[in-house]
Structure 1
Amino acid sequence: MEVSIKSSSMVKPIEPTCKVVFRLSEWDQTGIITHVPTVYFYKPSQEWFISSKSIIDTLKDSLSRVLVHFYPLAGRVQWIGQGRLELICNSMGVELIEAESSINLSDFASKTNLFENLVPFVDYNKPIHELPLVSGQITKFRCGGICLGVNISHILADGQSALHFMSEWARLARDEPLEMAPYFNPNILRAQELPMTLAPSNMHTEFITPPLLIGQQNNLDERRKITTVAILSLSKYHVESLKKVANEGPNGPNTYNYTRYEVVTSHIWRSACKAREHHREQPTCLGFSVDVRNRLHPPLPPNYFGNAILDVVASSRSGDIITLPLGFTCARIREAIDKFDDQYIWSNINFWKSLIDFSPFQDFHSRKSKDAPFYGKPNLGVISWLTLPIYGLDFGWGTEIYMGPGAHDSDGDCIMLPGPMDDGSVKVAICLQLAHMDAFKKYFFEDII
């Protein structure tokens, strides 16, 4: 697959911005600290290619203006010891690449094994303070279609914040005013001195000691096996069928009111346990994230920019997940979510503060290595984009014909997206060991009544 780079530039804020150094919150510095890649495919009208202002010029101009408001993204981060990071707001800029390909857009769309060439490469062997926090690549195909591939550092933004930036960038590209300025203040979620009743405890150690395969001392060999990615679609009918089964209880249908995320995730977890052929007594964990914006008292501002998601772990035995009703697995997930109140959240933050060194808990799995601390047999991570406004991004040449995650290659890494028509359907992008993917697909579809 050929993609050739035509130009690369560093786009800086068009106006002077605040020069300041921020200490980052504990959540900013733990978990995934690489960039999160996404791709948007477009089919612009021919008028765009004969207009006086090119697509790349439109993107550069609007990017330089939106960075005035999102100035932290134009900065850099640097290590300050013990695995901790700080943000330097220095207007170093965002990388923007122009590229072209000799093949057609149809050869790329929905084929995740080709996406890596459509998103800027991030060299994590370089010092971290040399890496842009955002990089974008616009690739034009032979047929006239284009792809915008974007990398946004998870150190600075979770999904909601990243999409806020993308939405405002697109608005300015359409010559519309900014809709909502970001509120950036990492001190809001910084650890603080709390009464002993809120002190950190060992209840936050799930990600530190995930289960291994029975009989193994580590899972290094498992994490290094060849993986493959599949995007599987569930219709609204499939989702409703799963919900009906999961919610059936002693008082009839809808007894438990499990959500779309809970039932589909439970189905993914069960299918993975079957495909991996776990021993019945095999412990297994499911990692996911909870948005705490509205779980804190008082809630965070609606325009809060940063990381406001907390890692959660549900656990069980593979034999129970496989043999017991789907509602059993949904209950394990619901129990993990329900404990997240204001007190638990602050206790979690203080737990991370109490650690001497963050380094063992920083995940470079996206592009650097297979040595992620959590992912891999027998565990799974299912991140939900179901409630995020991921579709309808229009830079002036129409909305995308396809949007999805960029390349991800860690065993057990899964992203759940809403169907593009917002009709209750779900898309599941999952990475598993090559040896297990066919079996996973089989169980994934056969087990739906």
Structure 2
Amino acid sequence: MASIRVISTSTICAASNKEPNLRIHLTTWDLELLLQDGIQKGLVFYKPKPDHENLIHHLQTSLSRTLDFFLPLAGRLATIENVDETTSFFLDCNNSGAEFVHAVADGVSVSDIIQQTYVPDLMVNSFFSLNGIRNYEGTSKPLLGVQFTELVDGVFIGCSINHAALDGTSFWHFFNSWSEISRGFDSLSKPPILQRWFLRDTDYPIPIPFFKNEQLIHSKVVPLPPLQQRVFHFTAESIAKLKAKANASIGAEKISSLQALLSHLWLSAVRSKRLDPDQETSFRIIIGVRSRLQPPLPQQYLGNAIQGADMTMKAGEVLEQGLGYVALQMNKTVAMHTEEKLRSYLECWRENPKFAIETHDSLPRNCFLASSSPRYNVYGNDFGCGRPIAVRSGPANKFDGKMTIFPGLKEGSVDIEACLSPETLQGFGLWKTRPLGRVSIKRTRRSHGVK
């Protein structure tokens, strides 16, 4: 049985707190994520040569300095109760601080995490803090939680960030910036842009009608069915072959590498589930929209700028038409998300707010969702213990059909962390591995540090 010992929990605040009264109002893209969990991603490193205690202090100090640039992550969500019984949310940059956890995973080695057929969920989940916290709870919980977990021959740095504060692009921008400061940079190569983007003529803070925290707290939570996760590795050569096959079958060079890869996974999952040909299956891609606006939003924009692109087909159609056809429908669906369509969506949401929640009980049956991107700078992060050797995600927003996209360790390769039912994974031609025992969590000391 893996044992996770929490050695200490500290509060890390921005070093200078130059703008203590800064308020950042949430956009439509931010607000619609209030019912979801945060973003949780972590990196695996081999054990650093320096003493780990020095590394922990270095990480805490560099994190404090990084928060000077990312002030919202040291703050909290705050609400305004309006006279018309609506509620508005904003980021209060009050420097209440981020959470930093130091933990030890007794007897756990790097190979236990990255060399098993299936991701050891119980173990990896315990490498993240702020588990089970929904975004709206950022009014009282930290918006950023970092956990440094010592392994026998390595370390795991897990990062949990409130999704109402930022998206995947901003998440890795923060991670990359923290890495720069850790390596001795006095300033950032790409400082974040804190000003939020709103539709013209938008009155903000945006009021949300009938929004009651009591309703959220007592909203129905359905237990997850048994799920397993596996990381599928695709080399640059195998992806190129899929892309060539997809484009050849439609007689045009329209399909991107990622569209071909995701279509291949959709086909494999539908086949493995043995769906009735008349059953519907859906695939949702979370796309970044910074470049789709005019003028484009810079990549350093700190916040959410994402949109879901949905496709629904009958299982028989997916299997009969094949890779090229499915990839072409994916290409067309993504291309439909023009600036005009994005603005129309935001205007409609403002009139009739709907909150996204991606769980197995809220999404259509046989739905698959792909998030994250192979373009993120994952393996360039060095905090003083060398470059990472693997990336894993935490338990947030997991359901049967969730696929998380990461760049592979080797340039041009892609890793897909697939969360599926055991039966579906077996249908992929995989074999069962012995499940890990239950993880116990012991707390030995609590401290409040770097202020």
Q: TM-score range by the shorter chain?
A: 0.7 to 0.9
CA contact (8 A) 1:261 1:384 kept: no
How far residue 103 of structure 1 moved from its aligned partner, in angstroms, is: 1.3
Alignment map for 1:11-410 (pairs within 5 Å): 11-18=12-19, 19-31=21-33, 33-46=36-49, 48-49=50-51, 54-80=54-80, 85-110=89-114, 111-113=119-121, 114-124=123-133, 127-143=137-153, 145-177=154-186, 178-186=188-196, 188-190=197-199, 192=201, 224-249=224-249, 251=251, 255-355=252-352, 357-358=353-354, 361-363=355-357, 365=359, 371=361, 373-374=362-363, 377-407=365-395, 409-410=398-399
Counterpart among 414, 422, 440 of residue 426 in structure 1: 414
Which residue in 1 is equivalent to 2:439? none
Q: Secondary structure at the match of 2:185?
A: coil
CA contact (8 A) 1:292 1:309 kept: yes
Q: Secondary structure at the match of 1:245?
A: helix
Indicate how the Cα distance of structure 1 residues 342 and 57 shifts in structure 2: closer, same or farther if over 3 A, else same: same
Give the distance between the partners of 2:427 and 2:5, measured in 1 at CA: 37
> Once structures 1 and 2 are overlaid, which stretch shifts more, 102-111 or 89-98?
102-111
How far residue 22 of structure 1 moved from its aligned partner, in angstroms, is: 2.7
Give the distance between the partners of 1:127 and 1:27, measured in 2 at CA: 17
How far residue 172 of structure 1 moved from its aligned partner, in angstroms, is: 1.1
Give the distance between the partners of 2:244 and 2:132, measured in 1 at CA: 47
CA contact (8 A) 2:389 2:409 kept: no
Cα RMSD between the aligned structures? Answer: 2.5
How far residue 427 of structure 1 moved from its aligned partner, in angstroms, is: 1.4
CA contact (8 A) 1:384 1:417 kept: yes
CA contact (8 A) 2:110 2:152 kept: no
How far residue 86 of structure 1 moved from its aligned partner, in angstroms, is: 2.2
Give the distance between the partners of 1:410 and 1:140, measured in 2 at CA: 28
Give the distance between the partners of 2:231 and 2:250, measured in 1 at CA: 35
Which residue in 2 is equivalent to 1:215? none
How far residue 163 of structure 1 moved from its aligned partner, in angstroms, is: 0.9
Paired residue type of 2:102: E
Indicate how the Cα distance of structure 1 residues 396 and 320 shifts in structure 2: closer, same or farther if over 3 A, else same: same
Paired residue type of 2:39: V
Indicate how the Cα distance of structure 1 residues 45 and 24 shifts in structure 2: closer, same or farther if over 3 A, else same: closer
CA contact (8 A) 1:25 1:191 kept: no
Give the distance between the partners of 2:241 and 2:64, measured in 1 at CA: 48
CA contact (8 A) 2:12 2:100 kept: yes
**Which fold has the larger relative contact order, with Cα–Cα distance below 8 Å and residues 6 or more apart in sequence?**
2
CA contact (8 A) 2:44 2:110 kept: no
Which residue in 2 is equivalent to 1:412? 401
Give the distance between the partners of 1:350 and 1:191, measured in 2 at CA: 10
Paired residue type of 1:182: P
CA contact (8 A) 2:250 2:325 kept: no
How far residue 250 of structure 1 moved from its aligned partner, in angstroms, is: 6.6
Give the distance between the partners of 1:381 and 1:302, measured in 2 at CA: 23
Give the distance between the partners of 2:224 and 2:88, measured in 1 at CA: 27
How far residue 191 of structure 1 moved from its aligned partner, in angstroms, is: 6.7
Q: Secondary structure at the match of 2:92?
A: strand
CA contact (8 A) 1:12 1:64 kept: yes
CA contact (8 A) 2:17 2:71 kept: no
Indicate how the Cα distance of structure 1 residues 130 and 441 shifts in structure 2: closer, same or farther if over 3 A, else same: farther
Structure 2: gaps spanning 5 or more residues: 204-220, 431-451
Q: Secondary structure at the match of 2:60?
A: helix
Which residue in 2 is equivalent to 1:212? none
Q: Secondary structure at the match of 1:312?
A: strand
Q: Secondary structure at the match of 1:262?
A: helix
Indicate how the Cα distance of structure 1 residues 79 and 33 shifts in structure 2: closer, same or farther if over 3 A, else same: farther
CA contact (8 A) 1:122 1:131 kept: no
Paired residue type of 1:329: V
Give the distance between the partners of 1:42 and 1:6, measured in 2 at CA: 20
Q: Deviations over 1:27-82 (max 9, x none)?
A: 11224732111111112443x118xx711110111111111110011111145576
Indicate how the Cα distance of structure 1 residues 151 and 354 shifts in structure 2: closer, same or farther if over 3 A, else same: same
Which residue in 1 is equivalent to 2:3? 2
Indicate how the Cα distance of structure 1 residues 276 and 123 shifts in structure 2: closer, same or farther if over 3 A, else same: closer
Indicate how the Cα distance of structure 1 residues 364 and 262 shifts in structure 2: closer, same or farther if over 3 A, else same: closer
CA contact (8 A) 1:24 1:190 kept: no
Give the distance between the partners of 1:337 and 1:347, measured in 2 at CA: 16
How far residue 127 of structure 1 moved from its aligned partner, in angstroms, is: 4.4
Aligned length: 399
Indicate how the Cα distance of structure 1 residues 248 and 386 shifts in structure 2: closer, same or farther if over 3 A, else same: same
Question: Scaled by the length of structure 2, what TM-score is found?
Answer: 0.82
Structure 1: gaps spanning 5 or more residues: 195-219, 443-449
Q: Secondary structure at the match of 2:39?
A: strand
